Each structure stands twice: as structure tokens, then as C-alpha cells.
A and B are shown apart, each in its own frame.
Chain A
Amino acid sequence: MGGVRWNEDDWKRASAATRGKRTEEIFTSAGMHPALNPYRMNRESRDSPANPESNAIIVGLDVTGSMGIIADAMAREGLGTLVEEILKRKPVSDPHIMACGIGDSWHDDAPLQVTQFEADIRIADQLKMIWLEKGGGGNSHEGYHLPWYFAAQHTQIDCFEKRNRKGYLFTVGDEEPPRELLAAHAATIFGDSLQRDLSTRELLTLVSRMYHVFHVVVEEGSHARHNLPAVLDRWHELLGQRVLRLKDYRRLAEVVVSAIEVNEGRDRATVARSWSCDTSAVVAHALRTQPVGRAQALLGMIRF
């Protein structure tokens, strides 16, 4: 008996699985990190002496297979750049940033991964822990509503609770929004027992109480490349003007920062012009459905 063993070397290998490995290996082999698991977890964005007027910002990135190599580039560099850019431009005061990895609630082991809210670049350590499962399935949607549900039910943010200011929630990906959140998925992903399934529109209503919700369509993703009109239709139907079209995935940071600035009341053209030449064009493309200025914003915007 006893052909197999689990010995000291195995223990050492297991407990130091991420030490001395290249980041690519960690990303591809390790599974979901316990620290990013949303199951029965809450996240808080609280004011502090260093950040007395905090504002919560959530960015959820699609890490499924349809995003292909873009997922790697965006997770490894794009999110980091985004955080740096937000901290540098401060489109809102004292930003607190939380990042999410979004998968598929039907097919993936890890449909959602969430970092803490962080006020500085220390979030980079957590970004590195996001597992790029590159799953997803034959359906044409991913779990973009999972950060919505999590934000609505499992975050406490001082900007809203103390100052009545909404946080920001951006999802980023190339596929369509899903139609509903199944109660069964809420149970296994979040440990919550819902009495029934919730439609994506209901979730939007729920999360919009506390957050400004945007979606960034990555036009270079393989799904969007082939189905862009359908993808845009579905998102416009749901979010109206709050759909941002990203034609160059390396400009995610600038587009997100600009969208926040416009939503905070700055003029659309001025914001686009504030970036260097080629970036400026990408930003203008993304913002073209946004209202020109504060006055129009009040007319055309969906308000909750």
C-alpha cells in the first residue's frame, strides 16, 4: 500500500507556491486568492485623517477568455495605470479604489474577485493576486452585474453614508450584460440567500442608489470585434448614455478619469483636450455620448 505521499517538500512547495515564480506562472496556475474571495465578505471605504473626504471608485475588469491577451495587459498594466492616473488627477477628492476581476457566473470557478478599497498604490499588490482564469463559456455575456450586486449589498462607503455623494462603479469588458442574477449563483458566489432571481435592471436600480454606474465596451475584445452593434445596443438599452466605447485598450485610465470629470460637471471638450493628441481622440470617441456640460447632463442623464 501507499504509492503516494505528501511530504515535507510538498508542503514547502504548496505553502510557497507563489514565491520565486514569474508572475505569469502565478496568474495562470494558482486559482482564486482567499483574500479576494467575495463569499460572505464586505468592503468598506472609510474616511481617515489622511483621506478626510474619501470617494469610492470601483473598477471591474472582465478577465474571461474572450478578452484574450487584452485581459493580461489590462490586468497587469491597465489597472495599475488607472489607479496611478486617478490618484494623480484626482477627479474626485481622496479617491478610494477597489478593483474586481469579473468572470462568468455559469462556467467559472471564480466568477468575481474583489480587492480592498485602497487609497494609494498599495493596491498593486492585490492586483497581482487577481487570477486570470480566462474561462467564460459559450454564452455571449459575462458577470458584469456581479460587481453591481456586491457594491449594492456588500460595500459601506463614507462618501455616501456621511456626505450623500455617490461612488463610481465602472465595469470593463467586450461582451453583453447578462439578463439576471440567479439566486443559486448569489448563494454560491456571495453566500447570500435571495428569495428569487434578480433581473439585471433590478440590480442596476439597486446599485444606482449608491453608485454612478458606467460600462466601458472594449472594442478590441474578440466578442465585441464581431458583434459590436449588438453589444452596444444591449448596453445602451440598459445604461443609456453611461456606455463608454474604448477603441484603444491602453487608454482605459484616461477614459475612466475623463468620464468621472465630465460627470462631476467639467466640460466634455475641455476634458478631451486636456490629454495629449492621440489620447485626446480616444477620449473624445469614448465620451461622445456623454453630455457636453453640466446643464445637458441634467436633461439627458438617467437619474436615480
Chain B
Amino acid sequence: MRNTAHAVIGANYGDEGKGLMTDYHVAPAGREGIVARINGGAQAGHTVTTPDGVRHVFSHVGSGALAGAATFLSRHFVCHPLLFAREVDALRSAGVPALPTVYVDDRAAVSTLYDILVNQVAERHRGNRRHGSCGMGFGETIARNLDPEFALTAADLRHGAGYLLHRLAAIRDGYVPRRLAALGIPAVDAQAAGWLASDASLQQFAHAAMQFHRATRQARPAILADHATVVFEGAQGLLLDQDRGAFPYVTRSHTGVRNALDVAAEAGIAALDVTYVTRAYLTRHGAGPLAGELPDKPYAGIEDRTNVPNEFQGTLRFAHLDLDLLARTIRTDFADALACPGIAARLDLSVSCLDQVGDAVSYFENGTLRTASPGALVDRLAGRINAGIVYTAWGPTRDTVRIRPR
């Protein structure tokens, strides 16, 4: 292995083009490459379109799989057996018959059906004070795993279905009522109560978890050293970080470079090129503040097949980029990498969706709305953050990515 790895980090609220840049970085290595998921879980939706037209939205599998790259689900990732099975099916119908190897750190948390249930009940209970959750139980899984009595990790799946059924029943009967009470939810409706009581769903989930266990291989970060190219794929964006975003409209993980540094250190990686990714405009899918929110999409060329409206997140929302906010956000996050002993970090930038904005793109700087050519916007931003390599993406596929001369 080269001792250098890439990290791909979303700079905003997600949907920046992380799938595209992950695919771009790992594709030259093909089967020799590996993509490590370092935060979040299957609620991610990273779209990759190959130059020959295969399109897939990655959620549980690393975004390098279409290029043949393996996946490493690190201990900061939350596994979701039901959604993993669904993604494997989707990949198969997209024309990927044999999934490249998926490695799982045995310390990674495992989501259950009951985390989804509590999440959805709680988000409905909040009514119009929603947190912008995807409704997949990601945050609930993290909360539950803080309690050793009810924690479930990939290592637990090694013990077989009997043990798992026992643990799940304990979560259902011991944890869920307590958690609902703590969230101030006195009673669930008849439908949710029925789902909760169903032995069939318990059985089906345990079965999916065992299938997940059989479809994956347990490993530690050292496995990364066996690969020619390593890409750490971040999920969500810096503005949704649990510590740095605007609570409570955040995700329950570190969305920046922090987890990548942690896994890289465990893997013995000495240098990290961090690609911060943004679109040429700002988007947010889900509840929470969005400064300067526009009534509609700002450019006629914007097309988004991934962010379809849903009950929990509503429709995709838009604003212009604010270079001051963006530069501050990126520099704050990158400071973690600079402060990390033993790892040499470089700050790179990627701006995507440049093909959608036409000849003139609007953005805020020093509180003023300005207009410039797409190239000038990229140069301005790169200058503000003193970027090393600057990538520009002019379409959905890796062959539209260019390195901008500086």
C-alpha cells in the first residue's frame, strides 16, 4: 500500500457529491482499491454513475463498488442488515452480480428494527418540530448502544441466531418501553404496537442479521494495508456534525475528518489527502435552518434523482453558497487533521454540479450577493481555504472530473 489515503468529506448538509469523488479516487485501482465508511450508516445516499451509464445510490456499501473496490465498514459505522440486503439486491439488478468483499469492524454498531420504530414514532410525535431525521433509526442505534446491556455490535452476530433472538427480545421488552418513556411518548398507536409485538418481524430481522453476517467478513483497520488505494468516505456534511452543526438538526456522528484520522492511525496510514466537497450551490434535505433559503431551485439545469421527497425529510431545499461560512467550516474541520500527530494531511477541494449553473453562478461573500463565472467561483473558494489540488466536476460521472490548474 502507498502510505497515503484519500478522505472525501462533505462540506455542507450532505448531497455534495461525495459518491462521485469517492468513485473518482478509487476507480484507477479497481479491485485493488478499498473504500472505508467512517461515519453514519445506511441512511446515506451517495450517487455514483459510471461512464457507461450504470447508476446506483450507495447507502451501506462503499461508493467504490461499481469500480470493483472492496468496502470496509469501520467501527464508526452503524450496520443495518435489512438495508444491506436491500442494497445488495439493488446492485444486482443494476448489473453488479458479485459484490466486492465487504469487511466489517467487529466493533461496529448494528441497528435493529426497534431503532427504526422508536425513531419514526419519535419524529411523528415531534410533529412540526421535527429534527430532519431520515427515519431510519440511525441516531436511536447510537443512543441504544451507549447502554452495555442493550448494545449490539457486529461481534455479537458471531454467536448465531439463538443468541441474537434473545438479545433482540431483551431490546424490545426491556429497552424500547424505557426509551419511549424517556422521549416523553406515553403510548404508541395500535399499528406501532402491533409491529412491536410481532414475532414475525423479530424473526425476519434476526434472519437478515445472520445473512448480513455471512455476506461480510469481520476485520480490523489493518486490512486497509492490503489495498493499493484507500478512500475514507464521509457521510452527511460538516454542517450536520453533532458538535459543530445547529442542534438539534444534526446527525449523531462526526461528519468531518476526525473519524478518518482515527481509522487511519489504527491502519498505520501516514498521510491523508482530504477532499472537501461542495456543490456550486447549497442544498439541504430535511428540517433545520438554511440561511438565505430560496423559494425554488436557483438554476434551471438542476436535476436531482436521488433526493426524492419523503415523509421524514420533505423536498430538497436550496440556497446560494456562502463562501465565508464554507471557508470557516472547512478550515475548522481541517484543523483537526493538522493537530493530529503522525499523519501528514493535505487540504484539497472539489466543486461539483458546475454543469448545472450555466455561465454565471451566484454566491455570498462578506454578506454581499455576488455573481461570477463557475471557474472564478472555484478559484475564489480555493484561494480562501488555500487548497492543494482543486477538482471540478461537470457532470455525474468520474470522467467529467477535472483537476483545475492553479
Contact = CB atoms under 8 A, between A and B. Distances in A.
Given A1-B236, A4-B59, A31-B210, A15 B203 contact: no
A17 B195 CA distance: 11
A41 to B, nearest CB: 9
Contacts of A2: 43-45, 134, 136, 285, 307, 310, 312-313
Nearest to B156: A188
A297 B302 CA distance: 88
Nearest to B197: A15
A40 B170 CA distance: 12
A146 B161 CA distance: 15
B201 interface: yes
Contact of B204 (A3, A17, A19): A17
B169 A3 contact: no
B163 A191 contact: yes
Contact of A38 (B46, B159, B162, B205): B162
A189 B160 contact: yes
B64 interface: no
A37 B200 contact: no
Nearest to B206: A31
Nearest to A184: B159
Contacts of B195: 11, 14-15
A110 interface: yes
Interface string A13-37: 0111111000000000111111101
B203 A17 contact: yes
Interface string A185-220: 001110100000000000000000000000000000
B203 A188 contact: no
B391 to A, nearest CB: 21
A267 interface: no
Interface in B180-202: 191, 194-195, 198-202
A6 B135 contact: yes
A30 B203 contact: yes
B306 interface: yes
Contact of A34 (B165, B307, B313): B165
A15 B205 CA distance: 10
A108 interface: yes
A39 interface: yes
Nearest to B159: A188
A15 B200 contact: yes
Contacts of B99: none
A91 interface: no
Nearest to B120: A6
Interface residues of A, number: 34
A111 interface: yes
- Report the interface size class on chain B: 35 or more
B318 interface: no
Nearest to A8: B191
Contacts of A32: 161-162, 165, 203, 206-207
Contacts of A7: 311
B290 to A, nearest CB: 14
Contact of A11 (B137, B166, B201): B201
Nearest to A38: B162
Contact of A1 (B137, B207, B307): B307
A122 interface: no
A33 B137 CA distance: 24
Contact of A35 (B44, B58, B199, B313): B199
A109 B209 CA distance: 10
Contacts of B355: none
Interface in B125-177: 134-137, 158-163, 165-166, 169
A219 to B, nearest CB: 30
Given A5-B135, A31-B203, A39-B165, A109 B160 contact: yes
A15 B161 contact: no
A110 B136 contact: no
Nearest to B168: A34
A15 B307 contact: no
B207 A4 contact: no
Contact of B45 (A1, A33, A112): A1
A265 B343 CA distance: 80
Interface string B39-80: 000111111000000000111100000000000000000000
A188 B43 contact: no
A30 B207 contact: yes
B166 A191 contact: yes
A103 to B, nearest CB: 10
Given A37-B162, A111-B162, 13 more contacts: A2-B307, A2-B310, A4-B87, A11-B201, A14-B195, A15-B194, A16-B200, A17-B204, A31-B210, A33-B203, A39-B162, A188-B158, A188-B162
Interface of B: 14-15, 42-47, 57-60, 82-83, 86-87, 113, 116, 120, 134-137, 158-163, 165-166, 169, 191, 194-195, 198-207, 210, 235-236, 285-286, 306-307, 310-313
6 contacts: A1-B15, A1-B44, A31-B210, A33-B203, A39-B163, A39-B166
Interface of A: 1-7, 11, 14-19, 29-35, 37-40, 108-112, 187-189, 191
